[in-house]
Amino acid sequence: MNFFITGTDTDAGKTFVTALLTRSLRRAGFDTVAMKPVSCGEPEDTLALQIAADSELTLAEVTPVSYAAPLAPIEAARLEGRVFDPVEVLPTFEHLHRTRRSLLVEGVGGWLVPLAENYSGANLAKSMELPVLLVVRNRLGALNHALLTLESITAHGLTCTGIVLNNHPDDVHDLVADGNRRLLPTLTNIPILFEIMPGQTELELAVA
C-alpha cells in the first residue's frame, strides 16, 4: 500500500489526508509510515506525519530537506544559498520503501512546483515510481485544476489510481461541491476513493 500523494494546489489538504490515511492504514494492520521529502516554512506538516505514524520515524526521515521560508522550494533554497538535489531525498525514500510494507509520500505544493531549475515535484515523483493519489479540494475551480494535474501526471509516465475529494471547512458546500462530486469520476475515468468531510478523524478501509 504505497502512494505518492499530490494535490491540485498548495491548500488542497495533502497533509491532512496523508496523516488520516496513515492512521487508518495502521489501524488496519499495516506498518504504514509517511514522509514529506521537502518542506518549506514551519514544520507542522512534518510533525503531523510523524505523529500519525506513532513517531516511528525521526523528523529527518519524514522530511530530509527543509527550508525556513514559506515559499516555493526553489526560492526558499535560493535564500539559503542552497540548490535542491534529489540525492538528499532518495536514499531515505529507498530505505523506507524497501523496509516497509506501506509507505505514503506527500508532495510539496502542487504537482509541478519547482524544486530546482529544470526539476519539479513531478520529476521527484517520477523517480519514486509510485502510484499517485490526487487530493482535490471540493470548491469552484476543482474540475479544471484536477484535469490539468491529471494530464501532467500522465505526461510524466505515472498513473493516478484514485482521487480524494476534500471538503474544507472554509468552503461552501453547495451546488459546486455536488457538481464536482458527480463530474470528477465521469470526466477523469478515475474513481473518488474517499470523500473527506470537515473534522473527519477516521477512514473506513476495506483492505486485505
d(C-alpha 111, C-alpha 26), whole Å? 26
User: Does residue 36 carry a catalytic annotation?
Assistant: yes
- Considering 22, 23, 24, 36, which one is annotated as catalytic? 36
Query: Which residues are known catalytic residues?
Result: 36
